[in-house]
Structures are given as structure tokens and as C-alpha cells.
């Protein structure tokens, strides 16, 4: 079974935070880091975002 990859805009909608806040939290270690999808593309595993939301 393939896991869904969420792009930044989808993550923003799910968690209700801005892009800059997400990146600030990644830098502090408070948010799961994204996965590199290509040269200029990143995304988050849906399970990682779900776990983070549940843990808050």
C-alpha cells in the first residue's frame, strides 16, 4: 500500500499554520522534516503529519 505524500499547501490546510511557521518549527525540531521528492519539490508523509497532529 502506497502512502500519500502531502505537499506544503495541503499540510498548511490540515494543521492551520503558515509556511514560515512550519519551517521555523522544523528548524527547532518541533515538526517532522519533509522528504525530498525531486530537485525543487518536497512533501510530508501523511502518517507523519497525522502522528504530529495526534501528539499535540
Model confidence over 24-40: pLDDT tens digits? 999 999 999 999 999 99
Q: What is the pTM of this model?
A: 0.88
Per-residue pLDDT, averaged over 18-28, amounts to 98
**9: which 3 cell numbers?**
499547501
Where do the domains of the chain lie? 5-55
Between CA 52 and CA 1 the distance in angstroms is: 21
Going by pLDDT thresholds of 50, 70 and 90, the confidence category of residue 1 is low
Residue 30 vs residues 1, 22, 38, 52, 53: alpha-carbon distances, Å: 28, 9, 24, 9, 12
Amino acid at each position: 500500500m502506497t502512502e500519500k505524500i502531502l505537499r506544503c499547501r495541503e499540510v498548511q490546510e490540515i494543521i492551520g499554520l503558515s509556511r514560515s511557521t512550519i519551517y521555523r518549527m522544523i528548524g527547532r525540531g518541533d515538526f517532522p522534516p519533509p522528504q525530498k521528492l525531486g530537485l525543487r519539490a518536497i512533501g510530508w508523509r501523511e502518517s507523519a503529519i497525522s502522528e504530529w497532529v495526534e501528539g499535540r
